[in-house]
Structure 1
Amino acid sequence: MDIRVKICGLKRPEDVDAAARAGAVYGGFVFFPKSPRHLTVEEARALAVEAPVGLAKVALVVDADDALLDAITGAVPLDMLQLHGRETPERVAEVRTRTGLPVMKAIGVAGPEDLAAIDVYSRVADQLLIDAKPPKDAALPGGNGLAFDWRLLQGRKYWTCPWMLAGGLTPDNVAEAVRLTGARQVDVSSGVESAPGVKDPERIAAFVAAATGQDSRVG
């Protein structure tokens, strides 16, 4: 099955290598100080320049101002930006123009009322990340290990731009999530960790195998 996998929150060279070896298409670098997966610009650059060829490098930012965007894009070789804050459609368009990079916009979903935003942002973003909406008191906008009701996305395969499913995915449930939603791309962070911010290469390999239908657990 042609499913593209993103491993987000990579912090160490061995994490980047594990993602690439497993067959992930995207590797995510987090620029958000409250996250246990946060990287400085210098740390991200060191990882990105040594990343295996073929692994698309994605920078996750949260309501980043122009100065931070300029610092990141000026130092780190990237293939895409992921906007994971409260960025408006207008801001998404501004970031695309300013950086010249494709932009993925994260949309938090908890119920049917949240789906309208998907249509709005699909007109300005290159890709969408459909994630579980964080609790109101959550410190992180994503990476909380929470899932939403995947049935909300059934029959919604044909938005005007590519989309990626995130939120609470693990090696044990990703195949079912793909089956229910029709997602062709999936994103995982905490679901392949042994501790917050510490990636487990065996879980990465198991996740990619399950997502792509190479695992015996996939029926």
Structure 2
Amino acid sequence: MKRLILPIFILLCSAELWALEVGECLADPQSKKYINPDFSAPYPKKISFTCRYECQAENQSQILLGKRTVEVRSLKDEARIPVCLGVEVKQTAWGYDFDRVDPFFIYSADMPALKKWAREQAIELDIASSAHLMQKLKENLKQVGQAYEIAGQNSEAFREASMILLDIEQSLPENTEVLDFYITKIEELNKIIPYELNAQNLVMRVLFGSANWRFKN
């Protein structure tokens, strides 16, 4: 029993003391509720659930209900993956246990209710709470761009994609014009990128995975 009480005590204290920045959300792990669960279904299976999140705007905070649907392929997945966004679990001698709750940038959550509220509150994409995501994006664009440059020795599509990705990386964070052009293109395609091998599709595939926190819908 002591093992269970301690993490809950730490969670309650940290939630009270955590000062969220504008654009950040923090989950309440104990608020998780499964939606029509069928725990006897075979793997792989999808699990849907809701959690409450405290999200911060410029002049107010709001408790929002967000829904997630995840896929699990094993009993191990079922212990690790169906958690509120931002909740981290750790492996112990007896399985998996609560570790901590991390805040996250509101647009990085694939939850329409949170994104809708963020748009209503006019929360911008490029603010302090998304700076770490921008830095991670730059690092990934540089790495992939250089890899595509090598592949471009035998492929015009990869060569052009490399040039675009490295150009975007070098322009960030000051200039997001080209980045946002491709993000808009992805949204216009309903986030379904064509399979045709060309520079534009290669770039969009990279950004779909690395810059999904810039999708406002």
TM-score tier by shorter-chain length is under 0.3
TM-score, normalized by length of structure 1?
0.25
Bigger Rg over Cα:
2
More helix by share: 2
- What TM-score, normalized to structure 2? 0.25
